[in-house]
Amino acid sequence: MNPIIVIPARMAATRLPGKPLADIGGLPMIVRALRQAEAAKAGPVVVAAGDAEIIEAVETAGGRAVLTDPDLPSGSDRVLAALEAVDPQGAHDVVINLQGDMPFVEPEVLARTADLMARTGCDIATAVAAEASPADRGNPDVVKAILTMVNGEWEGRALYFTRSTLYGDGPVWRHIGIYGYRRRALERFCAAPPSPLERREKLEQLRALELGLSIHAVVCDAAPLSVDNPVDLEAARELAGS
């Protein structure tokens, strides 16, 4: 297995325009994500940038970036475009997709995602964490992963992902938006149109399940902060200053 980490980023975020370059403790957010990915030592790191400004910031910090079409429909499409640009010969058979709005993701999460792919035959690997509070169960902004996992296990196969409320005994796993793809699985995923369940739940990982691709998840200690709006950005700045 020869993995590569690709970080998709674009300036035109709906709720926080320009967020890849938002200053967090003296560093652009995309550079913080880059540094965490490099620390994982799970393979070379490339930023899939939708804008020239992002490339300039990454290269100024000593990183590698490639310009992708800003009109690509999703981060997954941006990852595939960057992968084809930097590795047209297909040397990297696994790609780890790290969102550029996770400036404090633990490098171990990326390393464990790559390790999960190495140890299993799954098409896609991802990560989950335990619910932060009982309120997570009914929060549609918290994506829940339903896994084939019994007590004492720390990884399992994903049966479904949902925004709906989960009832009954047992843990509720919050999905962390980090993915490891077999290259062939990413190509198949991006070639397919959005699926019915994906459109219903607004969760693109359901397209993979409807295609018959297998997804396994590893349990991590906590979900990293994802910067989606101005409130999250202030929280990130406070965390950087702590």
DSSP E strand boundaries for 105-225 = 124-130, 144-148, 155-162, 173-182, 215-220
Local structure of 180: helix, strand or coil: strand
Residue extents of the structural domains in the chain: 3-229
Residue 242: per-residue pLDDT? 58
- CA–CA separation, 138 vs 179, rounded Å? 24
> Which CATH number applies to 3-229?
3.90.550.10
Q: Is the pLDDT of residue 129 over 80?
A: yes
- CA–CA separation, 210 vs 197, rounded Å? 8
Residue 171: per-residue pLDDT? 83
Q: Which residues pair with 158 in a beta bridge?
A: 147
Q: Is the pLDDT of residue 13 over 80?
A: no
Most confident of 169-178, 203-212, 220-229: 203-212
CB 45 within 8 A of CB 64: yes
CA-to-CA dists, residue 20 to 16, 197, 219, angstroms: 9, 30, 27
| Burial zone of 53 (CB within 10 Å; 0-12 exposed, 13-18 middle, 19+ buried) | middle
Note the pLDDT tens digit of each residue in 132-170: 888 888 899 899 999 998 667 889 999 999 999 988 877
DSSP state of 100: T
Indicate the average pLDDT of the chain.
93
What whole-number percentage of the chain has pLDDT above 70?
A: 99
Most confident of 52-61, 148-157, 221-230: 52-61
Note the pLDDT tens digit of each residue in 83-103: 999 999 999 999 999 999 999
Residue 149: per-residue pLDDT? 84
Query: pTM score > 0.85 for this model?
Result: yes
85-105 burial: b if 16+ Cβ within 10 Å, else e: ebbeeeebebbbbbbbbbbbb
